[in-house]
Chains A and B, each alone.
Chain A
Amino acid sequence: SQQGEEDPQALSIQEGENATMNCSYKTSINNLQWYRQNSGRGLVHLILIRSNEREKHSGRLRVTLDTSKKSSSLLITASRAADTASYFCVPNQGGKLIFGQGTELSVKP
Chain B
Amino acid sequence: GAVVSQHPSWVICKSGTSVKIECRSLDFQATTMFWYRQFPKQSLMLMATSNEGSKATYEQGVEKDKFLINHASLTLSTLTVTSAHPEDSSFYICSGTLQLGSYETQYFGPGTRLLVL
Contact = CB atoms under 8 A, between A and B. Distances in A.
A43 B105 contact: no
B103 A50 contact: yes
B67 interface: no
Interface stretch (B12-20, B75-83, B106-114): B106-114
Contacts of A59: none
B54 interface: no
Contacts, number: 51
A97 B106 contact: yes
A20 interface: no
A81 interface: no
Interface in B8-64: 34, 36, 42-46, 49
A42 B46 contact: no
Contacts of B84: none
B46 A96 contact: yes
A102 B108 CA distance: 16
B103 A42 contact: no
Contacts of A88: 43-44
Given A42-B108, A50-B103, 19 more contacts: A33-B106, A35-B108, A40-B111, A40-B113, A41-B111, A42-B110, A43-B93, A45-B2, A45-B108, A48-B105, A96-B34, A96-B46, A96-B49, A97-B46, A97-B95, A99-B44, A100-B43, A101-B43, A102-B43
